[in-house]
Structure 1
Amino acid sequence: MHASKFGSTHSLRYSDYKAIAFVALGGTLEFYDFVIFVFFIETVGKLFFPATISDWLRQLQSFGIFAAGYLTRPLGGVAIAHFGDLVGRRRTFLFSLSLMALPTLAIGLLPTYDQIGLFAPVMLLVLRLMQGAAVGGEMPGAWVFVAEHVPSIRVGRACGIVGAGACAGLLFGSVAAWAVHRCLPPEEVLRYGWRLPFLLGGMLGVATLHQRRKLHETPVFEALQRNPTPPRDAPLTALARHRPGHVLLLMSLSAVVATTFVVVMMMTPALLQKQYSLPAADIFAAHCAAILALVVGCVAAGSLIDRVGARPTLTWGFLLIAASNYGLNVVAAHHPAWLLALYLLTGFALGTVGAMGAVFIRAFPPSVRCTGVSFSYNLPYALLGGVTPIAASFLSTLTPLGPAHYVAAACAFGVLVAQTAAINDKSAGPRPARASHSGNQPDHDSPHPSPRT
C-alpha cells in the first residue's frame, strides 16, 4: 500500500489503533514511574538521609536526586535513539520501557538509610539516573514507532494519542499519591505506604513490556534494511553536518513547550494556593480536571495538524495557552468559582504539545530520525526542567503574575518559531507511511533514504 497523501480518505485501521494503544499505555506508565517520585519526596528525604541533618538540607538532597533524572534524560535519550537508527525501532523501544520499569520496581524494594546506611541514597541516585535515561528514550521512540506505522496523513493524530498517554501518566501519579495519603495514616505511609505506587508502576511496566513484545518493527525501518546505504557518519554527526538549522529550531520549539508545561502543570497548583490562598482540595480537583483536558487537547492538536498544518496549529495553540493562563491567574484569584472552568481551558490549550510529535517526525529522514527527534526534544527539557522552576519562583516574588508573564513570553517566542520554514517542512518523512506487507519498495513520492540528509 502506498503512503497516503494529504486529502486521502485513508483512515487508521483497527490494527493501527491497537498498536498506538499499546505504545500510549507504555508512555503512561513510564511518565507515571518518572513523576511518582516527586509526590513522595518528603518521605524519601526522611528515609534515605540521616536524621541528624537539617530539614532544609535533607529536602535539598531529595530534590537533587529527583533533578538527577533530568540530567541523564538527554544522554540516555540520544544513546537509545542512536541504536534505534542503527538496529531498529522495536528493540530500543522495548529497552526504554524495561529501563524504566525495573528501576521503579527496585525503588519500591530499596532498603532505607537505617538499614544499609549511605548505600541507600547512592542506590536511589543510580536508579533515578536510569529512570531519567529511560524517559529520554520513551517519547521520541514512541513518536517514531507509531508515525512509521500509520498513513502519512494520520501521523499527527497518532502522535497526539501517544502524547495524551504520556500526559495521562501525570494524572495516574497524582491519583495514586492521593489514594495512598488518603487511605493510610502518616506513620503507615512512612513505614511502607510510599513503596506501593513504585511497586505498582514497576509491575504494570513489566506487564506492558510483555505486550509490547508483540509489536512488529516499523515498515519504514524494514524498507531501510532492504535497501541499506553504507553510513558515512554516525547519526548525531550527520545531523550536525547536514541539518543544524532544523535541530536548533526544533530545540527552540521544545524549550517553549517545556517552559509552558512545567509552569502550568507542575507549578501552578502550588502558586495558586500560596499566592491566592485558594483551598487545596479545589485546586487538586481542578488540576486533575486540567490534566484530563490536556489529554483531550493532545489528540485534538494532533488531529488538527494533519488537517491544517503546523503553522496555524502551533500559532493559535500558543496564543490560547498565554491567554487562558492569564485568565486562570487573574480571574480565578478574585472569582474562585471560575477556577475549574479556566483550568480546564488552560489544560486543553496546553494540549498543543500533542502537535509536537508530527513536527519533529517530519523534520528528519528515517536514517537519522530517532536521533534527531530525541536530541532536539530532550536537551531543552533537561535544561528548562531545572531552570524554569527557579525563574518562575523568582518572578512570583516580584508580582503574582510573574509566572504568567514568563509563560506569555515563551508563547510569543513559540509563535515566531512556528512561522519558520523548518517547522513547516514535511519533505523528510515519514516516508512509506504504511509499507506493503508483500515486501514492496518504499513509496515513490518519498525521498530516498540517506544517512547524509
Structure 2
Amino acid sequence: MRVVHTVQGKSDLSAGLLDTSSVSVRRAAFAATIGNMLEFYDFVTYAFFAIQIGHTFFPAQSEYGSLMLSLATFGAGFITRPIGGVVLGIYSDRIGRRPAMLLSFALMGSAIIVIAITPSYETIGLAAPIIVIVARMLQGFALGGEVGPTTAYLLEIAPPERRALVVSLQPTSQEIAATAGALVGFILSEIMTPAELDSYGWRIAFLIGALALPFGLWMRRTLPETITPAERGARHADESGHFGLARRHRRVILLALMILASGTISTYVTQYMTTYAQNTLHIAQSVAFATSLVSNGLQIIGALLGGWLADRYGRKPIMIVPQLIVLLLTYPAFLWIVGAPGGWSLLFGFGLLSLISSLPFTAFYATFTEALPQQIRGGVFATVYAVAIASFGGTAQLVVTWLLHITGNPLAPAWYLLLAATVGLLAMALMPETAPVKVGKDARQ
C-alpha cells in the first residue's frame, strides 16, 4: 500500500521520498522522536541534579553560591542554542532533515559523556568547571539545531488531518525525556544516601543517557528524507532566499517568539520544582523527585491530548482556553503548595497545572510549523525556538532562585509564571488559524 502526503503542494511519493510500502509514517515518526527524546533526557537531567553537580564542580562558601554557579552553568547551555538553531536549522532546509538530526544527536551524545566522566573540582581543580561549561555549550548547540528539523520533519510526513497529533510527538518526547530523568532521579534518591548521590549517583543518570547513543544513531540513519535533491540544488542557488522569505513572515515569527518564551519559562520552572521542593519547602528528596515525575508524566498526556484536540477543533481554541485556565489557577495552586507543603499539595496542585499548561503548546507547534513555507521551516523554527529558550529558559531557574533569595517569599515562582502566562495568552490570541479542519486540507502559507 502506498500513501501520498502533500507538502507545499507536492507529493512526497512522486518526489521519491516517503514510500510507506517500505517505511511507514509511524516508524519514521518514532525514529525521529526517539532521538529527540534521548537528546532532551541528556539536557534536562542536569536540572534535576543541579545541587549535586554544584557540589562536585562548583564548591562555594554557601549552599546558595554553589547552586547559583551550577545553575549558571546550566544556563551556559542556552548561550549556544541560537547558534545551533541557525546553523543546523538552515542546514536542514538546504541539505536535508536527516543529516541535520544525525549531526545534532552525535554532538549531544559526545557532550553528555564528557560531563559524566569529568573528575571533580577537588581532583583536577579549575579544569573541572571549565570542561563542564564547554560540554554544556556543545549540548546547547546540538539541541538548538534539534527541535526545528525534527518538528518540520514530523509535519512533512503527516497526513493533513493528523498533523497536530504527529507534531505533538515533538513536545511529548521532551516530556518523556523529563519524566525519565525524574524517574531515574527518584530511584537513585531512594536507593542512595545524599552523600552517595553527591559523590557518584548523579553520574549514573548521565551515563544511562550515553548508553542509548548507539541506538539513537542507528534509528535516525533509517529515516526517509522529505527534501528532494532538486530542492536542495535550488536552495543552494538562492542564498538570500531564506532570510528574505523569513522577513515576510515576521509577524507570525514575533508572536511565536512570545509564545515560546511563555512556554519555556513554564517548562523550566517545572523542572526547577525538584530543587524548589528541597531548598525552599524543605521536602524530602524522594518526594521532590516524585513531584517532577508526576508533573512530567501528566504533561505527556497533555501534549498528546492537545495535538488530538487541535486536529479536531482547530489550533486557536486549544491554545487559548487552557492557557486562560492556567492563568486563573496558578496563584491558588501555589498558595496551597506553600501553605501546606507536602506530597499531596505538590503532586496534585502542581500536577494539575502541569497537565493543563501542556495542552496549548502542542497546538502552537502545529500552528507555527504550518504557517511557515517548507524552504525555511526548519531554520526559522529552530532559530526562534532557540532564541526564546536561550533568553528565557536559560535564565528561568536563575531568576526564580534570585527572586526567592531576595524576597524570602516562597510564592515567587508563581509571580514569574503568571507574567509568562499572560504574555503567552495575548500572543496566542493573535496567531493565525492553520488547522486543515478550519481552513481546508491543502491550505498552507
* TM-score, with length taken from structure 1: 0.82
Q: Which residue of 2 aligns with 1:164?
A: 172
Taking the aligned partners of 1:309 and 1:204, their CA distance within structure 2 comes to 37
- How many angstroms does 1:226 deviate by? 8.1
Confirm or deny: 8 A CA contact 1:32 1:201 kept in the other structure: yes
- How many angstroms does 1:308 deviate by? 1.9
Change (3 A) 1:190 1:408: closer
Taking the aligned partners of 1:321 and 1:113, their CA distance within structure 2 comes to 42
Q: Which residue of 1 aligns with 2:11?
A: none
Change (3 A) 1:2 1:87: closer
**2:265 is equivalent to residue 262 of structure 1:** no
| SS across alignment from 2:222 | coil
Change (3 A) 1:150 1:119: same
Confirm or deny: 8 A CA contact 2:56 2:120 kept in the other structure: yes
Taking the aligned partners of 1:278 and 1:325, their CA distance within structure 2 comes to 20
Within 5 Å, give how 1:135-174 maps onto structure 2.
135-174=143-182
- What amino acid does structure 2 have at the position aligned with 1:228? A
Taking the aligned partners of 1:297 and 1:229, their CA distance within structure 2 comes to 37
Of the three residues 20, 44, 49, the one matched with 1:40 is 49
- How many angstroms does 1:380 deviate by? 1.3
Confirm or deny: 8 A CA contact 2:5 2:157 kept in the other structure: no
Of the three residues 403, 406, 419, the one matched with 1:409 is 419
- How many angstroms does 1:387 deviate by? 3.8
Taking the aligned partners of 1:74 and 1:17, their CA distance within structure 2 comes to 30
- How many angstroms does 1:246 deviate by? 2.0
Within 5 Å, give how 1:52-451 maps onto structure 2.
57-218=65-226, 221-222=227-228, 225=231, 228=234, 231-234=237-240, 237-263=243-269, 265-271=270-276, 281-334=286-339, 337=344, 339-352=346-359, 353-393=361-401, 397=407, 400-420=410-430, 422-425=431-434, 445=442
Taking the aligned partners of 1:202 and 1:387, their CA distance within structure 2 comes to 26
Taking the aligned partners of 1:199 and 1:120, their CA distance within structure 2 comes to 18
| SS across alignment from 2:168 | helix
Change (3 A) 1:106 1:332: closer
Change (3 A) 1:125 1:227: closer
Unaligned runs of 5+ in 2: 9-19
Q: Which residue of 2 aligns with 1:3?
A: 6
Confirm or deny: 8 A CA contact 1:322 1:404 kept in the other structure: no
- How many angstroms does 1:295 deviate by? 0.3
Taking the aligned partners of 2:412 and 2:64, their CA distance within structure 1 comes to 25
Change (3 A) 1:229 1:358: same
- How many angstroms does 1:298 deviate by? 0.3
- How many angstroms does 1:56 deviate by? 5.5
Confirm or deny: 8 A CA contact 2:104 2:145 kept in the other structure: yes
- How many angstroms does 1:398 deviate by? 7.4
Residues 375-404 of structure 1: CA deviation (Å, up to 9, x unaligned): 121111111124433544565537554432
Q: Which residue of 1 aligns with 2:28?
A: 19
- How many angstroms does 1:283 deviate by? 4.7
Confirm or deny: 8 A CA contact 1:321 1:350 kept in the other structure: yes
Change (3 A) 1:406 1:375: same
Larger deviation: 148-157 or 179-188?
179-188
Taking the aligned partners of 1:68 and 1:206, their CA distance within structure 2 comes to 26
| SS across alignment from 2:37 | helix
- What amino acid does structure 2 have at the position aligned with 1:349? I
Change (3 A) 1:4 1:30: closer
* TM-score, with length taken from structure 2: 0.83
Confirm or deny: 8 A CA contact 1:48 1:121 kept in the other structure: yes
- How many angstroms does 1:276 deviate by? 5.9
- What amino acid does structure 2 have at the position aligned with 1:79? V
Confirm or deny: 8 A CA contact 2:165 2:304 kept in the other structure: yes
Confirm or deny: 8 A CA contact 2:172 2:304 kept in the other structure: yes
Change (3 A) 1:373 1:108: same
Change (3 A) 1:2 1:120: closer
- How many angstroms does 1:176 deviate by? 1.6
| SS across alignment from 1:194 | helix
- What amino acid does structure 1 have at the position aligned with 2:322? G
Taking the aligned partners of 1:121 and 1:338, their CA distance within structure 2 comes to 37
- What amino acid does structure 2 have at the position aligned with 1:403? P
Change (3 A) 1:328 1:68: same
Change (3 A) 1:52 1:125: closer
Taking the aligned partners of 1:402 and 1:366, their CA distance within structure 2 comes to 41
Taking the aligned partners of 1:46 and 1:393, their CA distance within structure 2 comes to 17
Change (3 A) 1:319 1:370: same
Change (3 A) 1:124 1:235: farther
| SS across alignment from 1:215 | coil
Change (3 A) 1:281 1:43: closer
Taking the aligned partners of 1:275 and 1:56, their CA distance within structure 2 comes to 11
- How many angstroms does 1:53 deviate by? 6.9
Residues 332-390 of structure 1: CA deviation (Å, up to 9, x unaligned): 44566454333332121121222232122112101111111011211111111244335
User: How many residues are paired up?
Assistant: 421
Over the matched positions of the two proteins, sequence identity in percent amounts to 27
- What amino acid does structure 1 have at the position aligned with 2:92? G
